[in-house]
Amino acid sequence: MAVCPACGKELPGEFPFCPFCAAPLAEAAPPPALEERKVVSVLFCDLVGFTAASEAADPEDVRARIRPYHARLRSEIERYGGTVEKFVGDAVMAVFGAPVAHEDDAERAVRAGLRILEAIEELNEADPGLELQVRVGINTGEAVVALGAKPEQGEGIVTGDVVNTASRLQSAAPVGGIAVGAATYGATKDVFDYERLEPVQVKGKADPVAIWRATAARARFGTDLTRTHAALLVGRELELTLLRGSYERAVRDSSVQLVTVVGEPGVGKSRLVAEVFVHIDSLPYLVRWRQGRCLPYGEGVSFWALGEIVKAEAGILESDSAETAAAKLDAAVPADEADREWLKARLGPLVGVDSGPAAGHEEAFAAWRRFLEVLAASRPTVLVFEDLHWADDAMLAFLEHLIEWSEGVPLLLLCTARPELYERQAGWAGGKRNAATVNLAPLSDEETARLISALLERAVVPAELRALILERAGGNPLYAEEFVRMLKDRDLLVRSGGTLRLKEGTQIDLPDSVQALIAARLDTLSHERKALLQDAAVLGRVFWAGAAAAMGGLGERTVRESLHELSRKELVRPARVSSIAGEGEYAFWHVLVRDVVYSQIPRAARARKHRAAAEWIERQAPERVEDLADVLAYHYLQALELARAAGQSAEAAEFEAPALRFLLLAGDRALGLD
Ligand SMILES: Nc1ncnc2c1ncn2[C@@H]1O[C@H](COP(=O)(O)OP(=O)(O)O)[C@@H](O)[C@H]1O
Ligand SMILES: [Mg+2]
């Protein structure tokens, strides 16, 4: 709830004046951020030669022929979570990552591109006279995103150099091909096959830019299991013991056990599961291990994860024809099973085999459970369901059905999920017998340090370099890996003897993958929560609830509730003791989260927020401003520089006097301390 900035009372609604003290409120709440800076992937697709071919034709005929093409393009783009920004004649421009970012926007854009090429072929087959041909260009980079834009009314969502370059790549693409720029290539080179193309000249860029042609998607099966691990496992002894224990209980009691491993992205959930696999694989008897993943966007199949498991069990490949798949499914259902036909009919939809009219959930669940029980009865079985936070409600309902009803067979259900699973299903697996949850906390500093040494091939890592990565990783092994990889890829490390050093004057950026991951998590937040985080990010890694409340014109209760939710999402955490008496102190979970939030605020808004932060700090300790002079000087200087950079000279002039005053104070204080 909003509060009056003059009297501090909570406002029971929206008013131009405070109903308690009559202070004007129009200026109280700053306008919500209408723009954000974001990393997006832009896709251009243009028809080749169609404009020329249509010159002679009647415009109505042209429109009639082009319409199905536009509709098809839109649906392929939207299927992967992209937004069509505009159609210009025969060309379409689409954006992935705005208004809402996903951690894999570059991948989605390329998948959409490949789908578009397939769709064009289908359209040509359906209408032989059509002979459509396209070129696709995709580029990834930072852009300014207009949050409230309505593309259906012709309003642009993104602006920036990334758009022009994408358009240029499109015209450089081979006919019937997709050309991508370096950032898109870097983010997706493990997912697609690429060919290098001749570099192209782009307006406004001195050097030709490197481009690649995406040719095909690599299979996504088994990626998690077969992935090579960069370093030996560090820590996690207790968690591994617990998971092994759950497996042993399933075997000893012939019972179903469910374990959900929960933690933020990159903390090591999949790795922990892989380590359980290593252990189980080393046992002297055979265990059935099957793995399925929930996907963040629909391939039109719900129960995808379960489908993967059944496909793997039956040996069905994505490339199999429907008949082959049906034959393999037939072979996978035991011959002595009484209800063979019934089972096969219910399993069919999971593996893309058409098997007559669909059954209700209840019946399908019963059949699937029966199939899994049959498997587990023949030998101990572990079923892994990865990334359960993306599962749809029906998938979750099936797992609960399984744990509730299965009996008498050794079956371990091993699930991984991010904390947001609990937002959708607060009581996930709660109150179920044989269900456990393992919360994966960040690695300790000592463990992270060991991981960093291992990632740097056990070179002697000077304390300074280690501290630098340690701080950025914040106990997240994925972040540590990505930083080390970036330092290596960009050749920023020099080795002299056995010792590694950072090159002189190196500025360390955020790796693209980490930025994308964090930006996607931030976009799961409501606008209000995000605005709160933006205010907090201006205050720094550590901030106070009261400051965030004052900067956003919010009530204390609202802020407390928001911060509670943000802590549950592992974006911030409360400090046990506060450095300001009576003020709840919080810190960003990772300094990187703070950096990404901060980088998304447009410069002019950033300047305003720095001023608001300074004013709050001044109010806390008016008699002690000397002590805080350097913090205050920092905020006013930031405000000054940002306002200048945003071309707001009037605002900038306002910040000069306080910036100077606190700089001098800070200087005096430094001298006094000597
Ligand atoms: N305890 C650990 N020791 C060493 N490396 C780890 C550890 N935990 C995770 N990693 C590595 O960090 C990366 C991210 O881990 P992952 O299991 O994929 O995270 P999550 O599934 O939670 O998103 C992987 O490359 C993994 O091998
Ligand atoms: Mg994972």
Instruction: State in Å: Cα 438 to ligand 1 middle.
Output: 15
Q: Does residue 74 have a pLDDT over 80?
A: yes
Nearest alpha carbon, ligand 1 atom 4: 233
Largest CA distance in the chain: 90
Q: Please report the atom of ligand 1 found closest to the CA of residue 264.
A: 22
At residue 222, the pLDDT reads 41
Tokens of 17: 């004046």
Report which DSSP code applies to 554: B
Mean pLDDT of 296-316: 79
- Tell me the per-residue pLDDT of 425-473, one tens digit each, with 9 for 90 and over: 888 887 788 899 999 999 999 999 999 888 887 667 788 888 888 888 8
User: Does 290 contact ligand 1 (Cβ within 6 A)?
Assistant: no
Work out which ligand 1 atom sits closest to the CA atom of 263: 22
pLDDT given at position 361: 84
Atom of ligand 1 at shortest range from CA of 454: 4
Q: Mean pLDDT over residues 176-196, rounded?
A: 92
* Cα 229 to ligand 1 centroid, rounded to whole Å: 8
Residue 28 CA to residue 48 CA, distance in Å, equals: 54
> For the chain, what are the domain ranges?
1-30, 37-217, 223-439, 445-509, 515-673
- Half-sphere exposure of residue 288: CA atoms within 13 angstroms, side-chain side: 22
Please state which of the ranges 155-164, 222-231, 423-432, 627-636 shows the lowest mean pLDDT. 222-231
pLDDT recorded at residue 4:
65
Give the pLDDT score at 462. 81
Least reliable range by pLDDT among 36-40, 80-84, 216-220: 216-220
List the single range of 84-88, 123-127, 294-298, 572-576 with lowest mean pLDDT: 294-298
- Which residues touch 576 (CB under 8 Å, ≥6 apart)? none
Using CA atoms, how far apart are residues 346 and 358, in angstroms rounded to an integer?
A: 8
Residue type, 411: L
Query: Is the C-beta atom of 233 inside 6 A of ligand 1?
Result: yes
117 falls in which pLDDT band (50, 70, 90)?
Answer: very high
Q: What integer pLDDT is reported at residue 230 of this predicted model?
A: 62
Q: Report the distance separating Cα 517 and Cα 495, nearest Å.
A: 31
Which of 371-375, 407-411, 439-443, 567-571 has the weakest average pLDDT? 567-571
Using CA atoms in the order 106, 107, 110, 116, what is the torsion angle rounded to 10 degrees? -120
CA-based radius of gyration for the chain: 28
pLDDT higher than 70, residue 224: no
**pLDDT confidence of residue 584:** 85
Pair of tokens at residue 15: 């008013």
| Separation of alpha carbons 583 and 580, rounded Å | 6
As a CATH number, domain 515-673 is: 1.10.10.10
Could you count the other beta carbons within 10 Å of the beta carbon of residue 668? 12
d(CA 187, CA 516) in angstroms, rounded, equals 10
Residue 30 binned pLDDT confidence (cut-offs 50, 70, 90): very low
Residue 474's region, left for phi above 0, alpha for psi from -120 to 50, else beta, is left
In this prediction, residue 225 carries a pLDDT of: 45
Compute how many other C-beta atoms are within 10 angstroms of the C-beta atom of residue 492: 14
Residue 226 binned pLDDT confidence (cut-offs 50, 70, 90): very low
Residue 20 scores a pLDDT above 90: no
Q: How far apart are CA 618 and CA 632, in angstroms?
A: 8
- Determine which of 43-47, 130-134, 262-266 has the lowest per-residue pLDDT on average: 130-134
Higher pLDDT, 244 or 627: 244
Candidate from 3-17, 265-279, 605-619 with smallest mean pLDDT: 3-17
b/e map 21-32, b = 16+ CB within 10 Å: eeeebeebeeee
Residue-wise pLDDT tens digits, 137-148:
999 999 999 887
Relative to the CA of 387, which ligand 1 atom is closest? 21
What pLDDT sits at residue 99?
86
Q: Which of 526, 547, 523 is nearest to 535 (CA)?
A: 547
Q: Is the CB of 103 under 6 A from ligand 1?
A: no
Nearest residue to 268 (alpha-carbon basis) of 128, 87, 444, 96: 444
Place of tokens 């852009």: 143
Would you state the structure tokens that stand for residue 419, as one six-digit string? 């904390």
Helices (H) and strands (E) in the chain, counts: 25, 18
Q: Provide the CB-side half-sphere exposure for 496 (13 A, CA).
A: 4
Taking phi first (over 0 means left), then psi (-120 to 50 degrees means alpha), and beta for anything else, what does residue 473 get?
Answer: alpha
Mean pLDDT lowest among 162-176, 241-255, 357-371: 357-371
Ligand 1 contacts CB of residue 348 (under 6 A): no
Is residue 478 lining ligand 1, measured as CB closer than 6 Å?
yes
Beta bridge partners of 246: none
Per-residue pLDDT, averaged over 420-425, amounts to 85
Length of the chain, in residues? 674
pLDDT score of 282 more than 70: yes
Query: Which residues line ion ligand 2, judged by CB < 5 Å?
Result: 269-270
Q: How far is the CA of 517 from the centre of ligand 1 (A)?
A: 14
- Residue 366 pLDDT: 92
Q: Is the CB of residue 236 below 6 angstroms from any atom belonging to ligand 1?
A: yes
- The mean of the pLDDT values for the chain is 85
Higher pLDDT, 534 or 230: 534
Q: Is 270 in the pocket of ligand 1 (CB under 6 A)?
A: yes
Pick the ligand that lies closest to the CA of residue 478: 1
As a whole number, mean pLDDT of residues 78-100 equals 89
Note the helical H segments in 360-476: 361-378, 393-405, 421-424, 445-455, 463-473
Q: Superfamily assignment of 223-439 in CATH?
A: P-loop containing nucleotide triphosphate hydrolases (3.40.50.300)
Q: What is 37-217's CATH topology? A: Alpha-Beta Plaits (3.30.70)
Q: Are 41 and 106 in contact (CB under 8 A)?
A: yes
User: From the CA of 481, which ligand is nearest?
Assistant: 1
More confidently predicted of 127 and 287: 287
In degrees, rounded to 5, the angle at the alpha carbon of residue 185 between the alpha carbons of residues 214 and 165 is: 95
* Greater model confidence, 550 or 462: 550
Q: What is the pLDDT of residue 357?
A: 74
User: Higher model confidence: residue 513 or residue 14?
Assistant: 513
For residue 262, the ligand closest to its alpha carbon is 1
Ligand nearest to the CA of 387: 2
Q: Cβ(379) to ligand 1 under 6 A?
A: no
Closest ligand by atom to 237 CA: 1
Percent of the chain with pLDDT over 90: 39
Please tell me if the CB atom of residue 475 comes closer than 6 angstroms to any atom of ligand 1.
Answer: no
Q: What is the pLDDT of residue 84?
A: 92
Residue 228 banded pLDDT, cuts 50, 70, 90: low
At residue 581 the predicted structure's pLDDT band, cuts being 50, 70 and 90, is confident
CA separation for the pair 578, 133 (Å, rounded) = 63
Q: Identify the pLDDT of residue 608.
A: 92
- Residue 220 has a pLDDT of 53
